[in-house]
Amino acid sequence: MQTLPVDLSNSSSNRIIFQCLQWRSLFQPWRGSCRVLLGNHRHGGDSIFEAMLMRLRVGSQTLDDVDRINATWAAFSDEQRLRMPQLRALRVSASLYNLERLAELPGDAVSFFAVDVVTAVTTEDKLLAKERLEQHADAKVTFKVNAPVVALRRVAPTVPTGTVGRVVGLTQRDGIDCVFRGVTVRVQSATWDVFNSRGLLIGKRTQVPLLLAWALTIHRAQGSEMECVCIDFSRDGWACEGLVCTAVSRVRFLRSLCVRGLTMAHIKTSPACLAFWTALVEESTGAAK
């Protein structure tokens, strides 16, 4: 329901994960099977919020659901909201906010520049390599001590992708020291590979696997669990299906949300995903009987 696009290009026919070739090769009946979890583990401690999220997920939300989510904004002050991670729909919106907050932070800034190796031969593949490398990591990232950051890769056994931490030490030569969940980790550069539609390697990018985390896009935050989050739905364009559910489900409790501007029109579901989900539920519940 939440991981809609595997390829944002308009020419791709495999735009949803369960429709792509890799999925079909793994989960066809003769190779394996797919099962749906009928319970919600992250939000099990807040049954009202859990039920609300399920309605959002399948597009059966009510006006009362929207009103209750928007009412969370009044529970926090402006100062508290500034200390919360902000979720944005657009990458440029998140980047601008992060740079504004970085400029306000005292101390010297240190920048890290990506090193690219493009192995593509054709002009088309060279353009594709550039586009896909940018999706993985920024060409330039800048940090200061005490800046919040999010890990773009697993940077330690206990620090998976999407974990939010804080910079505590910063040099261009030795990497970046960050605290994640009370543990200090030295983050070194990582390398991303990109491939064309034929599976050929067309480029590599080596960069520090971190981004500033005062604001994150929904796609960057997907899979993360946050203590609290602030979302202003009046900003950006929330056009992609599944984004609202993904955004508000980053926290475990309704009281951890700070939201305003949400409308019924923001909440979109994919007919293809809904049909897939329904088929899985019917298969799972039928097997249980």
* Prediction pTM value: 0.81
Q: Which residues of 195-227 are buried (b: 16+ CB within 10 A; e: fewer)?
A: ebeeeeebbbbebbbbbbbbbbbbbbbbebebe
- What does the alpha-carbon distance between residue 158 and residue 17 come to, in Å, rounded to a whole number? 27
CB 185 within 8 A of CB 170: no
pLDDT at 218: 86
- Secondary structure class of 7 (helix, strand, coil): coil
- What does the alpha-carbon distance between residue 250 and residue 257 come to, in Å, rounded to a whole number? 9
DSSP 116: E
Dihedral sign of CA atoms 55, 45, 231, 225 in order: negative
Q: Is 61 exposed, middle or buried (0-12, 13-18, 19+ CB in 10 A)?
A: buried
The letter for the amino acid at 105 is L
289 residues of the chain, pLDDT tens digit each:
554 444 544 444 446 677 766 677 777 666 667 776 666 678 888 899 999 998 998 889 999 999 999 999 999 999 999 999 999 988 899 999 999 999 999 999 999 999 999 999 999 999 999 999 998 899 999 999 999 999 999 999 989 888 889 999 998 677 899 999 899 999 999 999 999 888 899 999 999 999 999 999 888 888 778 889 999 998 887 777 788 888 999 999 999 999 999 999 999 888 888 888 888 778 777 765 5
- What does the alpha-carbon distance between residue 166 and residue 179 come to, in Å, rounded to a whole number? 5
Tokens 């990109």 correspond to 194
Q: Pairing between strand 115-118 and 215-217?
A: unpaired
Element (DSSP H or E) covering residue 224? none
Angle, alpha carbons 230-252-16 (nearest 5°): 80
Q: Is 145 exposed, middle or buried (0-12, 13-18, 19+ CB in 10 A)?
A: middle
Backbone angles phi, psi at 5, to 5 degrees: -85, 135
For the chain, count helices (H), then strands (E): 9, 14
